[in-house]
Amino acid sequence: MPPKNKNKIAAIDIGSNTILLTLVQLSQKNYFRVLLDQAEVPRLSKNLKTGGKFDSQAKGRALSILKKYKKICDAYGVKKILAVGTAAFRRAKDGKALARTIKQQLGINVKIISGEEEARLSYLSAKQDFTKHGVKIGMIDIGGGSTEIVSERRGQLRKISLPLGSVSLTEKFIGRHPISDREWDQLKSFIDARIMDQGLKPGMTAITWVGVAATVTSLLAVLKKMKTYDPKKIHGKSLTLQEIEELTEALRKFSLTDRKRLPGMHPKRADVLPAGGLILSRLMHHLKFKKITVSNHGLRYGVLWDFLSL
C-alpha cells in the first residue's frame, strides 16, 4: 500500500490527446517530491470539430481514466486534486458539461483554462527547471489541439496560443499512412500560414528554448530508440532542428503499422507524431533557432508550482 503521509496533492492535465497525472508530497519549503507520474492516451478530441460535441466513446475513455486516477489519489491519501482542461474543452460545445459530469461523478473540479493561461503555466514549469543564473528561456508546448508559445522580450512575457495541434491537424489533413507528398505539403503550408498570422518572427528571442509535452519527448524517445521509456534519459536533453526534420520526414514515410513498431514509439501517438514534429520544425525554422531542450514535465507541473506560489 502507498504511504498515507499528509500534504499530498495531485495535478491532472486533461489534454486533447493525453490525460496526465502527477502526484507529489509537499515539503515545508514550498517544494515537492514527485511520487507518481502517469500518462494515458484516450484522445478526448477524436473527431471533435470546433463548436461541436465530444465523441461519446472518447468521453467514456476519458472518464474511465479519470476514475482510475481518482482511485490512485485516494489510495495515496491525496488531500487536493488540481485538474485543468485545455484545448478540447475550449473547442467543444459541451466542454463545460463534461467538466460538470466529472465533478458530479468523481468529485474532481476541472478548471477550463484559456490558451494564454495554458501557455503561462507551461512556461512556469519550464522556467522552474531550466532558468539558472538569469538565463532567459522560451517555451513551446505542442498539444493535441493547440500549441502554446511563451518568450520574454524587454522584460515582458509574450504568450501565444496557436490553433495547431497534432491530433486536429492529422484529422484535418492526413488521410492515409504513409503520408503522401501532397498531404504533407498542404499541412506544411497550413502551419506556415498560421505562424505568419501571429506575426511570429525571430524577435521572440530566448537563450534556451524548451519543448514540453508528448511531441518533443516522443521524438527524442524514437530518436534514441528507447525500448522502455525512461524520463531521466529525456528530461533536460536536446534535439536539433536537423534531427527533428530528418526524423519527421522519415516517420511520415512509414505505414502506420510499421511506425507503431519503432522502438520508442507509443502506439497511440504513432499517427499524430509526424504532424507534431512538423509543427515543431516549422516553428524552429520561423523563429530561427536550431536546438531545443526537452522537458518531461509541462502544464501539470506548472499547475503545481502555481498552487505553491499562492
Instruction: Give the start-to-end residue ranges of the domains of the chain.
Output: 8-112, 126-299
For the stretch 146-187, pLDDT in tens is 999 998 777 778 888 899 999 999 999 999 999 999 999 999
Average pLDDT, rounded, for the chain: 93
Same fold, 8-112 and 126-299: yes
Q: Which three cell numbers stand for residue 110?
A: 476541472
Rounded to 5 degrees, φ, ψ at 261 are -85, -10
Cα separation, 78 vs 32, whole angstroms: 13
Q: Tell me how far CA of residue 221 lies from CA of 34, 68, 294, 296, in angstroms.
A: 22, 26, 11, 11
Instruction: Read off the pLDDT of residues 220-277 as tens digits, 9 standing for 90 and up.
Output: 999 999 999 999 999 999 999 999 999 999 999 999 999 999 999 999 999 999 999 9
Give this prediction's pTM: 0.92
Q: Is 218 exposed, middle or buried (0-12, 13-18, 19+ CB in 10 A)?
A: buried
> Can you identify the CATH homologous superfamily of domain 126-299?
Exopolyphosphatase. Domain 2 (3.30.420.150)
- Residue 212, strand partner residues: 141
SS3 state of residue 122 = helix
Q: How far apart are CA 86 and CA 235, in angstroms?
A: 23
- Which string of DSSP letters, residue by residue, matches 180-218? PHHHHHHHHHHHHHHHHHTT--TTS--SEEEEESHHHHH
Tell me the CATH architecture of domain 8-112. Answer: 2-Layer Sandwich (3.30)
Please state whether 264 falls in left (phi above 0), alpha (psi between -120 and 50) or beta: left
118: Cα separation from own chain's centroid:
10
Q: Residue 108 and residue 280: Cα distance in Å, rounded?
A: 33
